[in-house]
Structure 1
């Protein structure tokens, strides 16, 4: 049984969960301090003054409420169970128990320093009583991260740190403080227990992963105040949100404060989907939050803080200092989040269409005007229900504050306040109407069907593409980042990207009239009218005649490996590697699955995402784009996936295949072949897995009667260098490309990829770069480089140039003899 098997594989997790349940129930059912042996000794006084040393362990093996127990036990099962799977039972036990005790000792010491020397600025609740199993869980997770892959190592550490920091800032209980201490303690324990001592370097993230992290930051900043409000009486630096977000006298109108939170969550979702508009919306929300909290810091009076402290049963003087410090920090952190979003905005590059942006502005500005009008007229109509009675000028000055939920507006800075029930309704209603409108506009902007720029052009280009005609790279024209030129005379289009003053076309024209030379001539004229230098990248021999009338220069930039599925017959000695890979996969229970992204389950999608992110994390340079697709390009319903799935249902390798459409008269799009794009596998996958996956794809294409299967091109690599020796020697440019290809081999492995494709005995066809004149080549080369690496930073560029420098040989390193 799977459940019994899981129990046998995770003995410490089972024992730990059982102990937490038993000790917690004992604590609920009886007063432990009536016993001779006080099991749940939970504070520093118990441990040090009364010498109840076991409290360093038992305090982290129980909770103080039934609701907490319902949450903590699944938390232990999931996190500690995963840690036990990564590093074994005895290491997990040491990390949990030993890490909890160490965190408790360090936490007690820091709490004593805080209470002795920093009494005026309490950062968390005093550690008189604290039950915190989360401390042990975080210790175990951080220790286990040292046994994980590079990608999951970062994810675990960031996730644990996020949870610990959030609880410490928004709640600030003693247990939350121990959880924060557990982060470095668990990290050190992971190293001590034999985990990886990886170099402290920035682990490379794909665009998808960076968007995920940015979305998490925005969502956390939006939901954090709600957490503080639910806790209500926390002692963290940011727990002031808990008091500002609650209105005891008017609990229903206090719910208006959830509307900006909802807008922030929508913005986080949009960032995850790559929407640039969502990023700027999140920046605006963060700046607004900073301004509001800065206002709290400036206008709040000691009398108000005293009243809040008395309501929360806190000491007045320390609470005043904490409130002021918390207000300042609440003003600084949103600005830091906004700066981070702006700094990494290049990874969120799907821009809104004009129609969606215009609609957002119209709704928002209309709501702004309507809010101002309702607020002005409403307050003026019942001005006698405010104290003091406001003048027209007072009402006008207070209009900007009506955009802020009333719980976040401190009365100390107001010229007048409501005194009746109806006055309070008029006071709080405008903010609710405004943020409801902003929420609606945000959903339409970010989640709407026409949210992306050039959606109409993209739909039109897709229709032309599916009518057939083009080349094996044509489907890449549908990817984000491309602009489109449509021929007004014939049924053809060109996808291109402008970098500087160079327009780089993705291959040649596509559509039924793709082979008409006049299409190319009209596109070149279009580029000239805009002051761009046109160039065509990735043109194959089949369509090279279309460009002969231009009398341009050409340069081979890649070798495309092409298979004919109808002739596929992997027999003979030269196919030995392929047959061995297929047989090995069969013996291991690995099967091939031909599917699409939409047909995958959520678990399968997460497995593919993990494979992709782990692959990117190991690279020293950023992920390429342009004609090299990533995770985002898999979601297209026309893209097919060939997966390798092991006997346990885990995806161990994935490839994606882009369709090539024929030019017949069929009503539906007619696929005549596919082009290999995305190709990645798990780091622990067996050798030969990728050979098995591609062989399965060829068999699938053969059974479907397809004409062609392209294994795509290998940039800066030559399939037959010996045959082109004269060309290389006779061309300075070719020599430079050959040198760049050899230099980039350790980072991207283009030549290794070419050698891998040779195993399938394909036909190698050259792909050409066509450009007007040799003098244009430097600008063209720089433009193509920016197309592939549009997000290359200065630091990464310096690293790339360093990699391009010739490496000294061992003989050159030797010092001359004396």
Structure 2
């Protein structure tokens, strides 16, 4: 049985979830139920907008005060909005969404009768309740236990505030009450007002009673809605990787790490692991906004990939998460496709062959001039493995990298390690640039890519340095490859590179040119085109990277999760931030120069 490194639930789902298997599309019956629930919610909202017939309103007034009828209408509207919101959770099979829908459908029967004696609408709610009960076996996804406490906190907070305000309003109007009700009745009246029920206190002026009912009823609705939303928000698995997990992962990287330049980034501490039964392969992932987001190819022997992928997909199905893979290669993409995911090309990774790289020739003129300019200015670069540096030297590099960091936003997930100086990263290669006075002005960190490759991780530089610092450090790393036994260096990722490259060719069609214009427009925000050109000037080989996803309708949710994981959007509940050992990744060109998909620094010019 496949096991996960992070509790509380084993990835393939033991016990009640052991027979649950992931499918690219949810069962038709589950999708149909979700849509019917949303339609019922819209029906409730429309029903509130319609006026109550005078005759029925008169009959209701014999049994309920006007404030109670208004509260029932408001509660119906809130229930309708929640039913629409529940549709997404029901489609993913969330058991908690089903429970909430059952409660709302049952409450709808009563509310429709109270708000206007609407028998037809009450029958619709009864039919919906019956449907949910009959189809209850389709909603089994495991809830996030932490969301319960968030929901209870919101419920208690809003309810307590509403109770306090209602009690205070009664106290202020103590001289306008009929009779002499005590403080106990004041509290009872305020508490009943939270659920839309008229309390025992009678006011001299009806407006006072309406004001108290409005205050308490409003906060009662807010308490229920806020608690429901928090209860149903997608949760995240808290990562608790063990030392044995890390040791096994490093052993797999030592043997198979050369297969994927992103493999070493699986050692990020904010990534959980799903293992194949043989523990010869694993999928590294992180849950963000209800998306189980993996990055790169699975780690380990290729023959064990299907079992690791199956365990990861089963874990996603058990929790109601949407599985997605960010930046896998062709081999990994084929494995994920065989497991049922769809594939979309994201862009290309720039890889330089150190054996054939040269600064000679007209195509390398810009890079050659930048390097020569820096050398004439007295800049030099030193290359060393992290394990070969003295503790004081490493601390100085880490401090400089932190000092050079531009802004407070840390970007990176799929192509960033988010630490510098960790004891376990001794094989990481550091490039340190110094000016003519010996001051440290720039730092690059490369992580191992098997035994003969490097993968760019961190790039920091002093913005007051001469123009060309980045080119000097990158070229130094590439030219040092022969002495270090390095034959390939992965530099960066260019989003939708083929669009820019093909748009420059003769015969580019109108659709391609339009797509090119749109990307250039987007480059004003993310510098997509400049990132591509900054990579292209090193004349690299381009290897495509892919996005794997279940269905096209999941792409907006996956895009939100990816942008959050890469820190282009603020991380909220369900998106755990990356941890940092000594320093963090960043770009010397600032946040705008970072790829909007992968967070390696842009390789453009630097001042």
TM-score if structure 1 supplies the norm length? 0.37
Q: TM-score w.r.t. structure 2 length?
A: 0.49
More helix by share: 1
The structure showing larger relative contact order (alpha-carbon pairs under 8 Å, at least 6 residues apart) is: 2
